[in-house]
């Protein structure tokens, strides 16, 4: 089957009347479309597609434009290297060439997702030790990046489904380039979904650690406040400017004051310890000592063996 492949918008071509309106609209969108767009018609499809993934959100992404019919293929903005590789394979139909182009692009994306995986593994190792203060910013950066990866690759899956809609009378699954593009898109999206779950788990863990540390700080401040309450209370009482304060004339008034302060402080400390409010937040009042539990288990095993 003879078909034509065009890669420049200025190339003058004869367009079948069936595609003329769609082709005119597509040409008008070439200079304005900067997002993914897929439009499906009977026997053709066209639109725009994000080609390059940028790590920085503010950097403009490269957008390619395509128009696929039964006997022609337009690709504007696609890398010349990929187009030359596909053209060298001399496919019989433009549909096969287009999906081979998508498959080549997916192969290129695998290198980018591998780099992301390396940085994700480094971040996961850091979580096994002491988490630095700037670690949350790194996690949020990884989460934002994997979401942009998903936004970049998902339209390729939509293009696979759009092809079946546009060319209903063709068995696209029998075309090798279509199957290859399908497998690569699904494999890449599977990896992206896995990394998304990893980043979400890291975010939850980091938030839990942050909350735990905050609770530990609040608990320490609360215990400190409770232990210093006797000093504050008695200091407030004996610091009042009453004319008649018998304690001031006692021979051992100063010693008595310290004894009262230390005594109440010890009482409060003992009470907090019995309530198990001094120690780790993860240690509950009903928690049993590990060594005692092991000893009891051994005793039970020994008694059963004796019987």
Question: Could you read off the pLDDT of 148-180 as tens digits, one per residue?
Answer: 888 889 999 999 999 999 999 889 999 999 999
Cα(36)–Cα(151) distance, rounded to whole angstroms? 10
Structure tokens at 69: 């019919």
Residue (of 266, 118, 124, 88) closest to 203 by Cα position? 124
Q: Work out whether the CA dihedral 193, 121, 149, 77 comes out positive or negative.
A: negative
Residue pair 102/115 in contact (Cβ under 8 Å)? The answer is: no
Please report, for residues 211, 219, 275, the alpha-carbon distance to residue 205 in angstroms, rounded to integers and kept in the order given. Answer: 10, 21, 29
pTM, to two decimals? 0.69
Query: For residues 4-35, b (16+ Cβ closer than 10 Å) or e, as one string?
Result: eeeeeeeeeeebeeebeebbeebbebeeeeee
- Residue 63 backbone dihedrals phi, psi, to 5 degrees: -115, 130
Q: What is the pLDDT of residues 6-23, one digit of tens each?
A: 887 655 566 777 777 887
Which pLDDT does position 284 carry in this prediction? 43
Q: What is the pLDDT of residues 109-150, one digit of tens each?
A: 888 898 889 988 888 887 765 666 677 788 888 888 898 888
Taking the C-alpha atoms of 90, 93, 99 and 104 in order, what is their torsion angle to the nearest 10 degrees? 10
Residue pair 257/247 in contact (Cβ under 8 Å)? The answer is: yes
Cα(129)–Cα(117) distance, rounded to whole angstroms? 20
pLDDT value at 231 more than 50: yes
Residue pair 99/163 in contact (Cβ under 8 Å)? The answer is: yes
Cα(128)–Cα(118) distance, rounded to whole angstroms? 16
Cα(166)–Cα(40) distance, rounded to whole angstroms? 6
Which pLDDT does position 182 carry in this prediction? 94
Reported confidence tier of residue 27, pLDDT bands at 50, 70, 90:
confident
Residue pair 279/289 in contact (Cβ under 8 Å)? The answer is: no
Mean pLDDT of 255-262: 86
Residue pair 132/213 in contact (Cβ under 8 Å)? The answer is: no
Which pLDDT does position 241 carry in this prediction? 75
Other beta carbons within 10 angstroms of residue 219's beta carbon come to: 15
Cα(172)–Cα(181) distance, rounded to whole angstroms? 11
Taking the C-alpha atoms of 80, 183, 90 and 155 in order, what is their torsion angle to the nearest 10 degrees? -50
Q: Work out whether the CA dihedral 162, 166, 172, 173 comes out positive or negative.
A: positive
């Amino acid at each position: 089957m003879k078909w034509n492949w065009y890669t420049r918008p200025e190339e003058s071509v004869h367009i079948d009347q069936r595609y003329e309106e769609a082709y005119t609209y597509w040409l008008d969108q070439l200079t304005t479309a900067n997002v993914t767009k897929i439009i499906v018609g009977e026997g053709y499809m066209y639109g725009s597609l994000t080609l390059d993934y940028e790590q920085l959100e503010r950097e403009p992404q490269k957008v390619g434009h395509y128009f696929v019919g039964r006997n022609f293929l337009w690709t504007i903005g696609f890398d010349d290297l990929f187009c030359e590789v596909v053209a060298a394979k001399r496919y019989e139909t433009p549909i096969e060439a287009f999906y081979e182009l998508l498959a080549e692009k997916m192969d290129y994306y695998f290198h980018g997702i591998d780099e992301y995986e390396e940085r994700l593994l480094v971040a996961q190792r850091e979580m096994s030790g002491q988490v630095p203060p700037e670690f949350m910013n790194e996690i949020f950066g990884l989460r934002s990046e994997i979401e942009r990866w998903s936004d970049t690759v998902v339209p390729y899956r939509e293009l696979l489904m759009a092809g079946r809609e546009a060319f209903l009378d063709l068995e696209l699954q029998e075309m090798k380039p279509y199957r290859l593009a399908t497998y690569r898109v699904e494999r890449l999206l599977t990896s992206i979904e896995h990394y998304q779950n990893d980043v979400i788990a890291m975010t939850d863990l980091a938030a839990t650690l942050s909350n735990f540390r905050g609770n530990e700080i609040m608990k320490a401040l609360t215990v400190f406040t409770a232990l210093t309450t006797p000093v504050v209370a008695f200091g407030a009482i004996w610091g009042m400017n009453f004319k008649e304060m018998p304690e001031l004339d006692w021979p051992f008034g100063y010693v008595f004051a310290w004894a009262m302060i230390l005594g109440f402080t010890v009482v409060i400390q003992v009470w907090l310890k019995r309530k198990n409010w001094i120690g780790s937040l993860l240690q509950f009042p009903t928690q049993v000592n590990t060594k005692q539990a092991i000893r009891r288990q051994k005793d039970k095993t020994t008694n059963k063996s004796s019987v």
